[in-house]
Amino acid sequence: MTLRALQREFQRALLAGDTRFLSRIAETPGADSARRLTVYAEAYRLRLREALEVDYPKLRTLLGPTQFAELADTYIGRHPSRHPSLRWLGRHMAALLAQTAPWSAQPVLSEMAAFEWAQGEVFDAPEAGVVAVAEIADIAPPDWPRLHFQAHPSLRRLDLSWNVVPIWQALDQNESPAPPSAATTPQAWLLWRRQLDIHWRSLGVEERWAVDAWRRGAAFGEICEGLCEWLPPEHVPVHAAGLLKSWVDAGLISVLVLD
């Protein structure tokens, strides 16, 4: 038997309980072959479960340890690790929760997973500088409409219909969270890293549109035009300038581009 065939059999024993591999294990005093294989099978499941627990601590609290373990086992079966680092194992969790009964009946679970995964992405996103207010001030006002913005690599946008963020914060403070409740329209959220810390805040409807617009590549002039949907045209320049200053102050923008 080739090395590859042996490893394939071992893997199938670990992942699918295939017993053919047992005959490849040498008999040694102290424990039989099945027992020896079980050590590896248990360790595999436990290690991947623990990785998911690290990525989804509040989801685990919401579900409780037993239900989370059932979820983790389902997840591991459907999404075995495809990356050398366990850091990326849990990336399909929100989608699985949204699409799979019984968890899909509680949409707050999927949204909690999305919120916790986004925090992880923000936490170790690549480094980049941020634009200072003075750099904006250096640009001549006639050029402002041609300004484009590149987001800091850590910036993430989520739309959450459920009160996921207050629940997460209550659990983080070891307080009893409010029961899950859904808003009539999704709430927009921004998450990003400033220095080494994760930040988030909610967005009003017009700021949500504006942020999504510049992240898609829209110039500042297009953003000002778009804001007229919510504001009288004479108020737009001041309001848009205020939004831009708040984005720069928060460290959301890494690069200014004049096209």
Partner 1 sequence: MRETPATTSRPYLGYGLGLRTEHYDSVLQRRPAVDWFEITSENYMIGGGKALHILERVRADYPMVMHGVSLSIGGTDPLDEDYLGQLKALAARVEPEWISDHLCWTAMEGQHLHDLLPLPYTEEAVRHVAERVCRVQDFLGRQILLENVSSYLTYTCSQMPEWEFLDAVARRADCLILLDINNVHVSSHNHCFDPLDYINALPAERIRQFHLAGHSHNGPIIVDTHDQPVIEPVWQLYAAAVRRFGMVSTMIERDDNIPALTELLDELQRARTIAAPILKSSAA
CB nearer to partner 1: give 124 or 234.
124
Name the region of 64 (left: φ>0; alpha: ψ -120 to 50; beta: rest): left
CB nearer to partner 1: give 153 or 180.
153
DSSP symbol at 173: T
DSSP symbol at 90: G
Quote the least distance from Cβ 190 to partner 1, whole Å. Answer: 17
Look up residue 54 and give its two tokens: 């690290």
**How many residues belong to the site for partner 1 (CB under 8 A)?**
49
Angle made by CA atoms 152, 134, 140, in degrees to the nearest 5: 105
Which residues between 64 and 83 bind partner 1 (CB under 8 A)?
80-83
Q: How far is 203 from 207, CA to CA, in rounded Å? A: 6
Q: Tell whether omega for the bond before 107 is within 30 degrees of 0, i.e. cis.
A: no
Between the two ends of the chain, the Cα-to-Cα distance in Å is 63
CB nearer to partner 1: give 140 or 196.
196
Quote the least distance from Cβ 57 to partner 1, whole Å. Answer: 14
Quote the least distance from Cβ 225 to partner 1, whole Å. Answer: 35
CB nearer to partner 1: give 92 or 239.
92
| DSSP H helices in 127-195 | 133-137, 164-172
Q: How far is 170 from 130, CA to CA, in rounded Å? A: 31
Q: Among 16, 20, 126, 259, which residue sits at the site for partner 1 (rule: CB under 8 A)?
A: 126
Q: Among 16, 84, 174, 185, which residue sits at the site for partner 1 (rule: CB under 8 A)?
A: 84
Q: How far, in Å, are 74, 137, 184, 241 from residue 164 at the CA level?
A: 23, 38, 14, 31
Q: Among 16, 20, 66, 85, which residue sits at the site for partner 1 (rule: CB under 8 A)?
A: 85
Q: How far is 55 from 116, CA to CA, in rounded Å? A: 7
CB nearer to partner 1: give 129 or 233.
129
- Contact between 10 and partner 1 by CB under 8 A: the answer reads yes
Which residues between 127 and 146 bind partner 1 (CB under 8 A)?
127-128
Amino acid identity of residue 43, one-letter, is: A
- Contact between 216 and partner 1 by CB under 8 A: the answer reads no
CB nearer to partner 1: give 83 or 216.
83
- Contact between 1 and partner 1 by CB under 8 A: the answer reads yes
What residue ranges bind partner 1 (CB under 8 A)?
1-4, 6-8, 10-11, 14-15, 23-26, 28-31, 33, 35-37, 39-40, 42-44, 47-48, 51, 80-87, 123-128, 153-154, 193, 196
